[in-house]
Structure 1
Amino acid sequence: MSLKRVVLLCLLACSLQGAFAQGKFQWKEATSGGYTYKYVTNDPMKARFYTLKNGLTVILSVNKKEPRIQTLIGTRAGSNNDPKDHTGLAHYLEHLLFKGTENFGSLDWSKEKPLINEISDLYDTYNKTTDPTARKAVYHQIDSVSGVAAKYAIANEYDKMMAGMGAQGTNAHTWVEETIYEEDIPSNAIDKYLTVQAERFRDPVFRLFHTELEAVYEEKNRGLDNDGRKVYETMLAALFPTHNYGQQSTIGTVEHLKNPNLKVIRDFYNTYYVPNNMAVVMAGDFDPDYVIKTIDNQFGYMKSKPVKEYNPAPEAPIKAPIVKEVYGPDAESIEIAFRTPGALDTKASLIQGVISAILQNGKAGLLDLNINKQQKVLNASAGALSLKDYSVFTLSGKAKQGQTLDEVKNLLLGQLDILKKGEFDEKLVKAIVNNYKLGELQSLEKNGDRANSMMDAFIKSKGKNWAFDVAYVDDMSTVTKKEIVDYANKYFGNNYVIVYKRKGEDKDIQKVEKPAITPVEVNREAQSPFLIKIAEMPATPVKPQWLDYQKDIQKSTIGNAEVMYVQNKDNSLFRLYYRFDVGSWNDKKLPLAAGYLQFLSTDKYTAEQISKEFYNIACSFNVSTSNDNTVVSITGLQENFDKAVALFEHIITNCKPNEEALAALKGRLLKGRADNKLNKGAIMKGLNNYAIYGAKNPFNYQLSQRELDAITATDLVNILHTLPTYKHTIIYWGPKSLDEATADVKKLHTLPATFTTAPAATTFSKSTQDKNQVLFTNYDMVQTEVNWIRNDDAYDPAKTGIISLFNSYFGGGMGSIVFQTIRESKALAYSTYAYYMSPDKKGERYTTMAYVGSQADKMNDAVTAMNELLNDLPRSDKLLATAKEGLKQDIETERITNDGIIFSYIAAQKLGLNTDIRKQVYESIDGMNFDQVKQFHDQYLAKKPYTYSILASENKISIDDLKKYGEVKKLSLEEIFGY
């Protein structure tokens, strides 16, 4: 369960109200299946808005693309609603709503209940006790009673039920104004899903609390290690000195995390988890008449009650820049933020959406052309965070070599000055609208996009503003240049917060201390009668669909190039690919050349004009290089196919060397490399590559400083001009027929008489672990991150079924053995997993990878716990049955469509296959048993030597402890990165 990530303003995510939706988009009312609903005319989602008798909102959107449904259940309460002395409470509660009720998650509720009540009373005492010695005594009691209570608890029974019905993406998030529970279910699991959810919210039991609380501590620690999160929270605190947006951390303060109170959490639940404050949202393949009747029957027990909304006093205007600094080990950056009107101010939201795209749209915005295209900083971005009461408009940037953050600041604010003066082409607004319409077509295919958009409307306005959400793109075209300039001058003055992210030690970090927790029972084999009832509920079988590559993909040729084709029968979008059989392992300069192309002009267009041309026709191109191939993708509306393809062909053929652009690119590359050495995620990726391959590995296969210095602009342009001469496959997905598409490509794409032979590729061999070894790198962090890595046999398609089942059972989800043991029972980590990783190419080897991220003072316990599981596989026939059923449901409801069919075929070819491997896996599942899973575990994981890759602060762990696991090798950043 994770906090909601901060996202930029995007299509259909901005709730609007007002008088924009005239004529075309109007609220109407209809009745079907005995239920009345509201809808908006010309809504491409055809969303139905129901309000049940008890006030529960239900929003439904049918999409028959695949037999699955994205479901969201949300309440309009988040960290804004936390009591001042119990911040983080809404987020605590989110975690606890996975623990069950008196009917599931319990072996014997009559015996468990008094213990749960005693634990609640003890936490109340603990919350009010201040003497450290007395607190430890109370916590010891909590730990003791919790251990007894856990004997009657069934850990993860909710997750088991969801996995058993084929649910995916079981999760939840809490944010400032919302708490939302997420599931992606098969279309035949509606009855099971709604029965479980209705019970889940009926009267939740806050069991296994002290171990779950420890998981929240770990989540807090992960945030303390995340410089970006610290910048975000500092920015909000400065922007909102009185509003809870800035004054109440969603995850809570360390002080409050240490002093939870179950009775206060229960009060929060009783106050906000009421039907008139909640919504059920579903998008996917279902009968809406059946679904609304079922929801009404299941959730009709809920009783409405008045809910007092958080309604703070307005913030005082910011009259001068507010300067803040954040310190941490990651690279320096700058964030400039303005407080702007909230989502309910419809006109302001509309204008701000246009402004956001004028400043940055990825191609032709002011930042795109004037800053990023000209490489004036390492990178720059702009965007808006739309909240109910206020929005936040941000400008962000990172400095290039030799540049100060204040210089970046001046460049960013300079683009705002251009906006405020109106020095931009008003025609850009039309292009913005066309590109947003393209985005709308793409998002309609995805149930997740639909559901999130509808839930966002509920959170901000209880769905009242949906007509304006639907009209949003059309209404963008009504925004005038004067309105844009007036808005910019009104809201973008010296009234900003600026946060400087500096490199250095954060002396304000408060670590959450490790409490004394005795591991608790998880009762893997136990099942409540409720779970058995859910499992036995009838469900109409969904027949799996296998790809037949010979039938599903049509083929042709253009000259000596193969064409692979799948028709788009749904809309007017196209995607064209040239997939070249040459990659970075053939030529280390290829990725640099691919990145260089965007800065080049031709004899006809400047680099800036090229970006504008693509944006104006709502199309785009991209050149990406992987280890063994380079892919050119050209996408957009079919009506502009010829223009887009011809323009790209002109660019790749006629691009001209530009030494100045190359010098800037080299400088930015060097700065980016330096920044990567400061980034925890990049270091860990490199550390793991070292563990898998050894000193010579794909991660550090980089241009050396000498090689980089020697490269000229002409070298890179020659690579780009030569690229179309290498052997490649042409892939088309779009509305044209094969003959039409082939004819169109043939007239636009020039092919050589014979293909150029690609340079010989560098090869990398995975290491063989013959003894335990520890690879350690020092990093200033609160947590310790440990990976276990072991390479094994070469790929064998016959193992695919048992590997899939083993991963699901052992370490692939919240109901797995690893998660249950390390997080649920022993409270040693927030995030942990283990899986047997398959290669993507025939002849390559499998790799076992396990992971635990824990507080530094828990590292030894966490390593011991994972080693026990790697060496001795616990048996749970019930968990195995759940894993098998879930795996079957996943395959039955998976639909590989569109150009995904072609890329599935290409992936199969790389593995030496010519059929859909899923069929083989599916047909093998029923015949597999625990003995086979254990045999696999014993053969490939148990009592084997591993390489431990460990990232931690050497000030918080003991090197002598590391020596217990194997010979320690401390790696420098130069060894990891190769530069």
Structure 2
Amino acid sequence: MLIKSKRFSWVLFGLILNIFLFSLLRADVELKTDKNGYTYETVKENENLGRLYTLPNGLKVYMAQNKLKPVIETRIVVGTGSKYDPSDNTGLAHYLEHMMFKGNEIIGTVNWEAEKPYIEEITNLYEEHKKAKTQKEKNAVYARIDKLSYEAAKYAAPNELDIIVKSIGGKKYNAFTNNDETVYVLEIPSNELERWLELERTRFGGLVLRLFHTELETVYEEFNQNQDNDFFWVINDINKRLYSGHPYGEKTTIGRAEDLKNPSMTAIMDFYNKYYVANNMAIILSGDIDYDNTIKLLTKYWGDFRKNDKLEFKEYTAKDFTKIAVDTVEGRQTDFVAVAYRFDGEINQSESVKLGLLAEMIQNDKAGLIDLNVLQKQKVLSLEKVILSSRDYTTFMLVGIPKAGQSLEDVKNIILEEINNLKTGNYNDDLIQSVKNNVELGREQAKDNNGYLVDRFKNLFINNKNMDSMLAAETEFDSLTKDDMVKFSNDRFKDNYVVVYKKTGENKLKVSVEKPKITPLDLNNTNRSEFAKELMNEKTKNISPKFLDFKKDMQSFKLPNKNDVYYIKNTTSDIFKLAYVIDRGSYNDRELKIALNYSDYLGTENYTPEEFGEMLYKNALNISIDMNSENVIIVLSGLDKSFEKGLEILQDYVLNIKADSEIYKNYTDDLITGKNEVKKNKNVAINGISNYIMYGSKNPFNDVPSNEEIKNMDPDELVKKIKDLFNYKHEVFYFGPRDISTLKLPLNNNLEVKNPKTEKAPDKYKEQKITENKIYYANYDSIQNDIMILSKEGKFTLEMLPYSMLYSTLYSEGLSSIPFQKLREGKALAYSAYSYIKSPDKRGNSFYLISYIGTQSDKTDDAISSFKGLLDEFIVTEDQFIKAKELILKNIENQRIIKDDIYQAYLGNRRLGLKDDPRKYVYNKVKSMTYGEFKAFFEENISNQKYNMIIIGKKENILKADLEKYGTLKELKLEEIFGY
């Protein structure tokens, strides 16, 4: 009964999403002219699906209109990624992406004429550094670079782009690079469209590689993070074998260590000048836009953007791969085996469509071949598909984790058996139609999701396809038959795959990029360019905030047994969600979680476990179960036409579930194996130590049944716990297209007992006081040390929320946050550094100040002392304070809590003891708060507080640092952290 999310997942998945979006299109493409005289491509009789404009300079502009919220999701896409990195400067496209946030001659500088000579000399020195033969010569050149960089930094306006973006209320400001593309991401308020266009046109119009050497060390940190990831090494091994002779197999996006150590600013500028041009770029917008006005503004700001008439792209073809290749990779993380095949990439649309269907056929979490034949039958601990799709080629991979005592060879054979089932057509004849039914569900989900809509257009642009190509894809997808898929499987799955066994051991291929000695930069965070001052002073009409009124935004009625039903109508799609929030949680019964997970594998009186999954998938339905300390939340969702069928299936699951002792034995064996594997994950360990600090040695994280207790549990008694759930008081939430008057009868069903029981969740764990400075550390084999500092900030009050949000905005959000500027930008101590105040999820719990930095082991002492300095000394300027206030106010003004999120907000507020929308109080308090008030809050609640610290890394590296000056040192064994 596969009804919950994956247990182990590395899914990198996009093909089926493209098919969802293909299925939106049901008409021909046509060229039309707007009221301004601009020609655009759209879908005939279905223009709400978007428009494509092409400016005279070759710039592509894709737009989709979605008026649900006053925001616009934006993408600026450059059609070049690491595939075109120079062979002696790998990692260049990715590093250029980083440098695009540093500004140019206009943005990010207070005096370009004075700064320019330093940048030119630094550029020349990097060429000299690259040519130097000995390390001694390189060190001498680097010392000169370091000295000049210190002087050049005096003219920098650090992270000015991020500051400007925040001033216009931008969110999700980021970028990413892969094989074929570099994509710049941002969500903006719809009233700030013109300022955003002016900002980005100015940014992309030039590039200055300022603050180069500190940002380079940040890339070193990113490189070193990959070195600690065993899956990174497996992917590299697979790529080298599948794509020999092609950049996908010869380069990584992060680059080679040797190239990162010897960068060329000249090569980066050449790359930028060649590829960052109008005829190799696209601007993509989805959201609250007016088409005609938006294209006018785009033409105004981007119509003169430079193009490259000589732009050419070399086409690469990987060598034929017609063999079985086997290799072994060693590392300290979980053992697994990966079996990988090579397919044509997204440029081959017919191949992508078939592969998208095949991917859902082999695994869809309910009724795929792996779901039914492997996971449901408990043959392995975990088996997941991984799809890495690129323009030229796509890697189709199955990754399996063995059960206790099972060999990786056994898992490989199980994988190949399912591949053979695809080839022989050994699966239910209804499977392909079931996939198509779920595509229909995906179509409804994609209707008003800005993220889906911009990604749809991005894929069209990168793969050089017109909108009519989506029509062809949809037609082909709809026409595919079982015979087609059997033929496709036999054509593609032959003795042409790579097997990589990832085994426990020492990875001798790891390379740590050592950071050269640099002088911390004396950055003036108040510096502003004239451009920034002018743009941020431009006035735009504010959007009025909209706060929730739960009495108006939701309707309600009571069932005959007095259980409440809350109702919100879905007016935009045919999707429904039906949630049961049951007053029964982990604090009531710690065996209940075991029972719920066990039920994942069980059938009912009417359906076998396999039939149950098939029934859900066939009807495009989902059942998800979540559990917290106080509640079990069961959610049924899908298309409205399957509502009655969904209720029938859900009732059968709850009331007729059947225990199976053999399944339980296999489940407990896998559970115990999985528990041991989880201990290898240092991020999970950080969470465990956090709980140790907050609640003591016995805490919600490690208070789990022992292996012996799990084995001795009675499967029949566990099933009774499931059947008993609806005997407890609960409430019901419905979101969907049906009228409230039609719901009372179907919701008063067999799940609703006459007199539901009530039982309040006990307060099992008491928060600990932090009365002295302590350092807890755990031994993990990693290049980096992960450091977290925790302080307790007092019990939840509404009055604390505005201050916590202001602090978090200043110290956590974006490239201009204070830790980012001081620790990454100024000292190059980390790839990631942030601090925020975590709000509790229920009344009676406390706020916690959480600060994090990941750094090289030899920088641990410097990283801790530097971060502690930021926490103890108030360095926030009045300008930073004002900008943080403005960002919070803009975010609240632009935020719209709609649809089923209204109920989620209601539940969250109720747990905090709040009856009204807290954003209204926060908005008014932030608006009136003074700089002096915030400074007083910082000095009282942040400065010189008692703290506990977490450090995870190699024990010998941790102990090299002089840590006792920061507090009492205590090593935590994994058994203490995890409870077993």
TM-score per shorter chain, which class?
over 0.9
Instruction: Write out aligned runs for 1:276-675 (5 A).
Output: 276-306=279-309, 308-461=311-464, 463-464=465-466, 466-469=467-470, 472-473=473-474, 475-558=476-559, 559-675=561-677
Compare 639-648 and 32-41 and name the one that shifted more.
Answer: 32-41
CA distance in 2, matches of 1:300, 1:522: 36
After superposition, give the CA deviation of every residue in 1:51-77 in whole Å (9 maximum; x if it has no partner).
Answer: 101011110011111000110001111
Compare 74-83 and 445-454 and name the one that shifted more.
Answer: 445-454
- Letter of the aligned partner of 2:426 in structure 1? E
Q: Secondary structure at the match of 1:926?
A: helix
Give the match for residue 185 of structure 1.
188
CA distance in 1, matches of 2:708, 2:904: 37
CA distance in 2, matches of 1:23, 1:376: 42
- Letter of the aligned partner of 1:701 in structure 2? D
Contact 1:341 1:349 in 2 (8 A): yes
| 1:953 partnered with 2:957 | no
Give the match for residue 790 of structure 2.
789
Contact 1:767 1:791 in 2 (8 A): no
Distance 1:892 1:307, change over 3 A: farther
Q: Secondary structure at the match of 2:72?
A: strand
Distance 1:336 1:45, change over 3 A: farther
Q: Secondary structure at the match of 1:586?
A: coil
Contact 1:353 1:384 in 2 (8 A): no
Contact 2:578 2:635 in 1 (8 A): yes
Contact 1:9 1:383 in 2 (8 A): no
CA distance in 2, matches of 1:621, 1:200: 46
Instruction: Write out aligned runs for 1:809-828 (5 A).
Output: 809-828=810-829
Return the offset for 1:759: 7.4
Return the offset for 1:596: 1.7
Q: Which runs of 5+ in 1 are unaligned?
A: none
Return the offset for 1:10: 3.6
Return the offset for 1:961: 2.0
Contact 1:176 1:250 in 2 (8 A): yes
Contact 2:579 2:636 in 1 (8 A): yes
Return the offset for 1:595: 1.4
Give the match for residue 26 of structure 1.
29
CA distance in 1, matches of 2:48, 2:493: 35
Return the offset for 1:312: 4.0
Distance 1:827 1:357, change over 3 A: same
Return the offset for 1:456: 1.7
- Letter of the aligned partner of 1:9 in structure 2? G
Instruction: Write out aligned runs for 1:754-765 (5 A).
Output: 754-758=755-759, 761=762, 763-765=764-766
Q: Secondary structure at the match of 1:385?
A: strand
Give the match for residue 260 of structure 2.
257
Contact 2:19 2:439 in 1 (8 A): no
Q: Secondary structure at the match of 1:933?
A: helix
- Letter of the aligned partner of 1:237 in structure 2? K
- Letter of the aligned partner of 1:715 in structure 2? E
| 1:167 partnered with 2:170 | yes
Return the offset for 1:857: 1.1
| 1:922 partnered with 2:923 | yes
| 1:898 partnered with 2:903 | no
CA distance in 2, matches of 1:863, 1:294: 47
Q: Please point out which of 6, 10, 13 is paired with 1:8.
A: 13
Contact 2:39 2:53 in 1 (8 A): yes
Give the match for residue 883 of structure 1.
884
Contact 1:805 1:883 in 2 (8 A): yes
Distance 1:783 1:22, change over 3 A: closer
Contact 1:587 1:759 in 2 (8 A): no
After superposition, give the CA deviation of every residue in 1:375-424 in whole Å (9 maximum; x if it has no partner).
Answer: 11111122433221112111111111111111111111101111101112
Question: Over aligned residues, Cα RMSD in angstroms?
Answer: 1.8
CA distance in 1, matches of 2:498, 2:31: 43
Contact 1:809 1:880 in 2 (8 A): yes
- Letter of the aligned partner of 2:82 in structure 1? S
Q: Secondary structure at the match of 2:18?
A: coil
CA distance in 2, matches of 1:405, 1:680: 24
Contact 2:349 2:473 in 1 (8 A): no
After superposition, give the CA deviation of every residue in 1:15-63 in whole Å (9 maximum; x if it has no partner).
Answer: 999xx99983434434342211001236585221111010111100111
Instruction: Write out aligned runs for 1:809-848 (5 A).
Output: 809-848=810-849
Compare 825-834 and 937-946 and name the one that shifted more.
Answer: 937-946
Instruction: Write out aligned runs for 1:744-755 (5 A).
Output: 744-746=746-748, 748-755=749-756
After superposition, give the CA deviation of every residue in 1:111-138 in whole Å (9 maximum; x if it has no partner).
Answer: 0111111111111111111211111111
Q: Please point out which of 700, 711, 714 is paired with 1:709.
A: 711
Return the offset for 1:680: 1.8
Compare 929-938 and 756-765 and name the one that shifted more.
Answer: 756-765
CA distance in 1, matches of 2:648, 2:753: 17
Distance 1:856 1:339, change over 3 A: same
| 1:695 partnered with 2:697 | yes
CA distance in 1, matches of 2:17, 2:381: 30
Q: Secondary structure at the match of 1:804?
A: helix
- Letter of the aligned partner of 2:598 in structure 1? Y
Give the match for residue 43 of structure 2.
40
Distance 1:963 1:741, change over 3 A: same
Q: Which runs of 5+ in 2 are unaligned?
A: 1-9
Compare 606-615 and 813-822 and name the one that shifted more.
Answer: 813-822
CA distance in 1, matches of 2:475, 2:550: 40
Q: Secondary structure at the match of 2:149?
A: helix
Distance 1:22 1:708, change over 3 A: closer
Give the match for residue 89 of structure 1.
92
Distance 1:294 1:313, change over 3 A: closer
| 1:676 partnered with 2:681 | no
Contact 1:120 1:261 in 2 (8 A): yes
Q: Please point out which of 40, 53, 63 is paired with 1:50.
A: 53
| 1:247 partnered with 2:250 | yes
Compare 749-758 and 575-584 and name the one that shifted more.
Answer: 749-758
Q: Please point out which of 71, 75, 78 is paired with 2:78.
A: 75
CA distance in 2, matches of 1:402, 1:23: 52
- Letter of the aligned partner of 2:813 in structure 1? G
CA distance in 1, matches of 2:456, 2:821: 33
- Letter of the aligned partner of 2:42 in structure 1? Y
- Letter of the aligned partner of 1:370 in structure 2? N
After superposition, give the CA deviation of every residue in 1:283-328 in whole Å (9 maximum; x if it has no partner).
Answer: 1001111111111111122222135554344323223211122221
Contact 2:34 2:292 in 1 (8 A): no
Distance 1:222 1:976, change over 3 A: same
CA distance in 2, matches of 1:749, 1:75: 56
Contact 1:215 1:827 in 2 (8 A): yes
Distance 1:103 1:150, change over 3 A: same
TM, length-normalised to structure 2? 0.97
User: How many correspondences in the alignment?
Assistant: 970
- Letter of the aligned partner of 1:185 in structure 2? I
Return the offset for 1:878: 1.8
Q: Please point out which of 196, 209, 213 is paired with 2:212.
A: 209
CA distance in 2, matches of 1:140, 1:594: 61
After superposition, give the CA deviation of every residue in 1:648-668 in whole Å (9 maximum; x if it has no partner).
Answer: 101210111111111111111
Contact 1:582 1:758 in 2 (8 A): yes
- Letter of the aligned partner of 1:764 in structure 2? Y
Return the offset for 1:941: 1.6
- Letter of the aligned partner of 2:110 in structure 1? L
CA distance in 2, matches of 1:605, 1:817: 57
- Letter of the aligned partner of 1:817 in structure 2? I
Distance 1:662 1:953, change over 3 A: same
